[in-house]
Amino acid sequence: MVFFKRFIVDVAYAVQTSKGYQKKKRFFYNLLENDENKYKKYFDSFMIALIFISVAILIREVKHELHYHLVFFNSYVISIIFFIEYLLRLWVYGSVSQTIIKRYEYDSYLGRDFNLSKALGNILNFKLSYVFSVRAIIDLLAVLPFFHELRLLRVFILFRVFKLFRYTKSFQALASVLGSKKFEFLTLAMFSSIVIFVSSILIYVMEANNPKSPINTLYEAAYWSIVTISTVGYGDITPITDEGRFVAMLVIFAGISVLAFTTSLFVSAFTEKLDEIREMKTVEDISKIKKFYLICGYEEVAKEVALSLRKKHKNIIVMDENLDNVKNAKNDGLMAVNYNPGSISSYEKLNINVSTQVESILCLKPSDIENVYTALTVRSINKEINILSLLINEPNRKKLEYAGINEIIYPQELVGLIVKELVGQPVAFEAIHELRSEESNINIDEIVVTQSILQNYAMIGELDNKRYRIIILGLYKKTNEDFYFNPLDETFLEEGDYLLVIGNKVFIKEFEASLHKKSLI
Amino acid sequence: MKNTTAFVFGFNNYASEIIDNISYEYDNVHIYSLDKEDEKNEKYDIRSFDLSDEWSEMENLINSQNHIAFCVLEDDAQNIFLTISLRASFKNLVIVSLAKNKESSNKLEMAGANKVIPIVQNTADIISNMLSKPIATKVLHSVLYEKSDLKIAQIVIENEEYFKREFPGDIDWSRYRGIIVISIMSQDLSREFIYSVKSKHKLLRNGDTLVVAGYEADILEFEKLIGGKRYVNWSNWSR
């Protein structure tokens, strides 16, 4: 027995430390459970397609003879796929090896013999907790049509429809909405049951002894009660005695209140949860964006910056604790969230990965205090991220620098510099202003030198810019962070350098594309 | 050529930055504020004024040809009223006005400002360019606004013979080492990129302005070659 236990522990350690095994398990876990996994949506779509095919076959089967292959596909192929999925879910739910190791280490620590049966008990416990979960039961029932020879089991195909809950978020949201009003729905169910029960008995007592009455059994009485209370009232069964009609009047009044109660419950549940559902959707959408600019505070400058960046096809997310500002941002067609950018929990709740997802943080509130607070919050999460901020009062500049803000924009200073250039060289200023303007056809742009460009061009002189009527203003060297104006033809290009070019927008694009192809001339 | 006098109407942070940046260009800078308290300012000589003034006192002070006025009142409505008042009194005065947003910017242009600087728009453009074209923005910022050997200058041609009736697009500008010609502004005030289709078929004439980038020494040499000179022609600012 000791050897067996030793063997079990060794196997558990081997499994736990096996990179290949863990990698596979992680892959299947992500595929089945992780919404952020890029393959999950394809897997879910595939399963949803199987469900609809299955239901379509069931409907077709009612009045038509099905081809053998179709029956085989429905009964075996789909069932086996569902069964494999069931087993995979059971597998990735918790870790057997980890439970054994945990128990072994716990017992060793206390100087006791390894209690294998306790470890197995724990494993059985958590695996059974999965097996008896509603979702797992639905999954298992969806496999039952495999035994299609038993006609009754074919109906279980409909359980496959319930599997849709697993693959679609909106169904889950609906379930959570209804779940939030559990107590109210329970009260409604109790009230309706009592009304149905009492009215069924009453109508049965009043009508059953009358030979002309269509209500002869308790079942018919219950059927009549439910049809009446739901305000459907088919009219196939109606009371004929005065007493019975009196009961009917009471049931109709009760029915109206039940219906009103039910409707108000649904409406209030959705109203209360609507914002939460929208927020869940926003969080989900944000997690799907690979790179974006995070604008903290949405007022005048932020609005213009967002518009300008959007024109350049950049992803933007606005974060503001002021609800009106968030509404304005949404009205402007931006993705906006009502969170405080100065709070770490906002980034956690929104599941924002500052280091990988955010290109730059823009603190654009018209308050130095709030911008410093936001900058320090972001800095405490990530030391490297680029932070740009507005400076409202010049004496606060040092505080912004101390908060770790990389770029400080002081509008008053900008105006001073602009005026200086304007009064000195208006034509040159206008020319440069035009080059920077997105509206103009002639632009200044930067082209990053990539490995692909270097394979075709090694020196400035080799570039074919004249053909595209493009001026190479200079070369920004990444290695020493220097700008070489009007570089000589013999200047070597290096990966990561930037070419600063002036020319027609379209020609610049064509020129950039040409750099990646070997010149034929 | 130095302009003689600049008038700054309004006294605030924007005005301070403007005064600091233009004082080298003008012999006199007169500052006017709506707030009488500003007259006590020790750093600047500030006089008070009222928007209902008839400007008769200033008529003797302001010479429309060479003077410039900056309207930098914080309230956009007041700034527009100030601009229109100045324009009504001084037809040829160059007026530069600050606007908070695009809406005010349009109104200021209608009120007769020669140049409007929309603060929010400019700040946003700078931020947006810093993010999308960081290198280009950094280089242009240092060339335009910081003390750098590299300069962007406008040079008026005074010796058209030098170009031997060549079209701008055909001239090998690389023969002027160190100089890059970016655009041309013709006497009819149309501005064209050096390689645009129009400039390809338009001869360079005396009075045309070339916008060039280069180091100071190279620009000076280029000026000598084309017999041109750097100067500011305010008439280029059409209303």
Whether A283 and A351 have beta carbons less than 8 Å apart is answered as: yes
The dihedrals phi and psi of B117, each to the nearest 5 degrees, come to -110, 105
CATH code at A290-413: 3.40.50.720
Angle in degrees, 0-180, between the axes of helices A116-131 and A96-109, rounded to the nearest 10:
150
Residues of chain A in contact with residue B130, where contact means CB-CB under 8 angstroms, are 388, 407, 409
CATH code at B149-236: 3.30.70.1450
CA distance A288 to A283: 9
Tell me how many degrees the CA angle A35-A39-A42 measures, rounded to the nearest 5: 95
Q: A171 by DSSP, 3-state: which?
A: helix
The per-residue pLDDT for B236 is: 42
Contacts of A390 (CB under 8 A, 6+ apart): A301, A363, A364, A365, A366, A371, A409, A410, A411, B123
For chain B, give every domain's residue range: 3-124, 149-236
pLDDT surpassing 90 at residue B135: no
Residues of chain B in contact with residue A484, where contact means CB-CB under 8 angstroms, are none
Q: Give the count of beta carbons closer than 10 Å to the beta carbon of residue A271.
A: 10
ipTM confidence score: 0.81
Instruction: Answer yes or no: do B21 and A419 touch at CB < 8 A.
Output: yes
Cα separations in angstroms, A241 against A203, A205, A213, A433: 10, 11, 8, 92
CA distance A419 to B145: 10
The dihedrals phi and psi of A502, each to the nearest 5 degrees, come to -125, 135
Whether A308 and A438 have beta carbons less than 8 Å apart is answered as: yes
CATH code at A434-515: 3.30.70.1450
Q: Which CATH number fits domain B3-124: 3.40.120.10, 3.30.565.10, 3.40.50.10540, 3.40.50.720?
A: 3.40.50.720
**Looking at CA atoms only, how far is residue B26 from chain A in angstroms?**
10
Per-residue pLDDT tens digits of chain A, which is 521 residues long: 778 888 888 999 998 888 999 999 999 999 988 877 888 889 988 988 988 888 888 788 778 887 888 888 887 888 889 889 999 999 998 889 989 998 888 888 888 888 888 889 999 998 999 999 888 888 888 777 666 555 555 666 677 777 777 777 667 777 777 787 888 889 889 988 998 999 999 999 999 888 888 999 999 999 999 999 888 888 899 999 998 999 999 999 988 888 888 888 888 888 877 777 777 788 888 888 889 999 999 999 999 999 989 988 899 999 999 999 999 999 999 999 999 999 999 999 888 989 999 999 999 999 999 999 999 999 999 999 999 999 999 999 999 999 999 999 999 988 888 888 888 777 777 777 777 777 777 888 889 899 888 888 888 888 888 888 888 888 888 888 888 888 888 888 888 899 988 888 888 888 888 888 765 54
For chain A, give every domain's residue range: 2-167, 182-275, 290-413, 434-515
Radius of gyration for chain B, computed over Cα atoms and rounded to the nearest angstrom: 20
CA distance A456 to A453: 5
Residues of chain B in contact with residue A300, where contact means CB-CB under 8 angstroms, are 100-101, 120
A290-413 and A434-515, same CATH topology: no
Whether A12 and A101 have beta carbons less than 8 Å apart is answered as: yes
| One-letter amino acid of A157 | I
Closest CA to B132 of A495, A366, A453, A388: A388
Please, what CATH class does the domain formed by A182-275 belong to?
Answer: mainly alpha
Nearest CB among B119, B133, B180 relative to A415 is that of B119
Residues of chain B in contact with residue A503, where contact means CB-CB under 8 angstroms, are 193, 195
Residues of chain B in contact with residue A407, where contact means CB-CB under 8 angstroms, are 130
Q: Where are the alpha helices (DSSP H) in A64-156?
A: 68-72, 78-92, 96-109, 116-131, 134-143, 151-154
What token pair was written down for A88? 């995979």
The dihedrals phi and psi of A475, each to the nearest 5 degrees, come to -125, 125
Rounded to 10 degrees, what is the CA torsion of A192, A197, A200, A205?
-150
Taking every pair of Cα atoms in chain B, the longest distance, rounded to a whole number of angstroms, is: 62
Instruction: Answer yes or no: do B17 and A418 touch at CB < 8 A.
Output: no
Instruction: Answer yes or no: do A426 and B237 touch at CB < 8 A.
Output: yes
The per-residue pLDDT for A217 is: 92
Provide the sign of the torsion angle of the four alpha carbons B158, B164, B165, B166, taken in this order.
negative
CA distance A100 to A115: 9
Cα separations in angstroms, A455 against A110, A275, A389: 65, 53, 39
Q: Where are the alpha helices (DSSP H) in chain B?
A: 13-22, 56-59, 76-89, 102-111, 119-132, 134-145, 197-200, 216-226
CA distance A81 to A375: 51
Whether A414 and B123 have beta carbons less than 8 Å apart is answered as: yes
Q: Where are the alpha helices (DSSP H) in A382-410?
A: 397-402
* A250: β partners: none
Q: Which residue has the tokens 């400039």?
A: B199
Tell me how many degrees the CA angle B39-B42-B44 measures, rounded to the nearest 5: 70
Which residues of chain A from 420 to 479 reach within 8 Å of chain B, CB to CB? 420-432, 434-437, 442, 444-446, 469-471, 473-474, 476
Which residues of chain B from 171 to 210 reach within 8 Å of chain A, CB to CB? 178-180, 182-183, 185, 191, 193-196, 209
Q: pLDDT digits over B8-50, tens only? A: 999 999 999 999 888 888 888 889 998 888 888 888 888 888 8
Of all residues in chain A, the one with the smallest CA distance to B145 is: A417
